Chain A
């Protein structure tokens, strides 16, 4: 497949790996912000092939994982309303909230439908005029413009039974919060690829400028990530800190203006709760006043009740890069992909799931 298979070629990878070994002299810790990168790193065993000088830590870039229980509880409360059909990406079904999960309320009779796209959710609304379809808006800047577009489409077509529960988040403020906390010392940042497809590379400049941390935007194939690590190592050894793009086929410095326009037309920044980080200013997206009639939270009277965090779960610390799943007492014992306690074990790109499924710590 074009643009995929050529970036998985083992003979090229071998050369890049040995160049990284040759070039890397200084001890450095890199964070991959994005869960998609976490998956690539584990799936191909990239940590194993890097030199001892490089330590990789996973960041909070998994939209499912960072969705706070207070938000999940709202989704569950909406699902329990008889005339509501919940339309959601498959990722959200198994995530435990304070007391339940969408999968469980579905088994109890709630109408929860898995969709691949907002297009399917719009079609559901058209096919079920007597019901209200609530789309669970999760995701970062990559997904938010799409949800914005779906809402504009619904508006254009005069669809009155399509709603959104916006749990969208934006990435740069979260990275700033991590860096400001000073909990984990970073020497390089692997910036999210498809978020940057939308927002471009400029929004990362503050990291290089204010925190002197090298930044490289990476794609998701193994060669993309290796090239990104190579470029970070090169910046470190040259004493530089700037923003570079390794994923040039998919990311332009200015991003996708059309997508940004839709996002700005429909959403405005608001404070948002991140699991593990608490409230981060300007890191959420809420519907603008003009589009509030699409807001599921305003349209339905819901009382999700008090939130509850699972005892002993350290997903929050893991998401901040302060701890790894191996530090968690529940990991692999009480908390497994079959019986997940925290969201990082549920989401396929969560750190705990990656550690568990791909056997991190396994030698051989």
Chain B
């Protein structure tokens, strides 16, 4: 449930931001993520950022997936 997708914050004005999602931009609210900065990727649900995505964790998850996939090749 709860469709939420990653968007890149391009500019911030008070509690709102312009965010880019695969080449389209939309105004989103930062009420729930006041600490978000320009350049952060946030998860957007119904026009609100619900958290800041952790790029380091994403990379680690992908590394873990690669390791699992490599185990399969052995």
Answer yes or no: A and B touching, Cβ < 8 Å.
Answer: yes
B41 to chain A, nearest CB (A): 6
A117–B3 Cα distance when bound, in Å, is: 12
Interface-located stretch among A74-82, A100-108, A142-150, A205-213:
A142-150
A227 to chain B, nearest CB (A): 6
Interface residue? A316 (CB, 8 A): no
- Residue count of chain B within 8 Å CB distance of chain A: 39
Judging by beta carbons under 8 Å apart, are A194 and B50 in contact? Answer: yes
* 8 Å CB contact of A249 from B32, B50, B55, B73: B55
Q: Which residues of B contact A153 (CB under 8 A)?
A: 31
Judging by beta carbons under 8 Å apart, are B72 and A15 in contact? Answer: yes
Q: Which residue of A lies closest to B5 (CB)?
A: A4
A205 to chain B, nearest CB (A): 20
Interface residue? A188 (CB, 8 A): no
- Contact mask for chain B residues 39-59; partner A; CB cutoff 8 A; 1 contact, 0 none: 001010111101101110110
A143–B66 Cα distance when bound, in Å, is: 33
Question: Given contacts A36-B1, A118-B46, A140-B2, is CB(A249)–CB(B58) below 8 Å?
Answer: yes
Judging by beta carbons under 8 Å apart, are B22 and A1 in contact? Answer: yes
Judging by beta carbons under 8 Å apart, are B68 and A250 in contact? Answer: no
What does DSSP make chain A's interface, helix, strand, loop or mixed? helix
Question: Given contacts A3-B58, A6-B62, A248-B54, is CB(A18)–CB(B72) below 8 Å?
Answer: yes
A222 to chain B, nearest CB (A): 11
Question: Given contacts A119-B29, A258-B34, is CB(A194)–CB(B68) below 8 Å?
Answer: no
A192–B50 Cα distance when bound, in Å, is: 15
Highest count of chain A CB atoms <10 Å: which of B33, B51, B62:
B51
What does DSSP make chain B's interface, helix, strand, loop or mixed? mixed
- Contact mask for chain A residues 6-35; partner B; CB cutoff 8 A; 1 contact, 0 none: 110001101110110010000000000011
B20 to chain A, nearest CB (A): 10
Judging by beta carbons under 8 Å apart, are A248 and B61 in contact? Answer: yes
Interface residue? A62 (CB, 8 A): yes
Judging by beta carbons under 8 Å apart, are A149 and B1 in contact? Answer: no
A329–B61 Cα distance when bound, in Å, is: 43
Judging by beta carbons under 8 Å apart, are A15 and B73 in contact? Answer: yes
A185 to chain B, nearest CB (A): 24
Residues of B within 8 A of A (CB): 1-6, 8, 21-22, 29, 31-34, 41, 43, 45-48, 50-51, 53-55, 57-58, 60-62, 64-66, 68-73
Known: A194-B45, A258-B33. 10 other contacts (CB 8 A): A2-B8, A6-B58, A15-B69, A19-B72, A118-B46, A145-B32, A146-B46, A152-B31, A248-B58, A250-B54
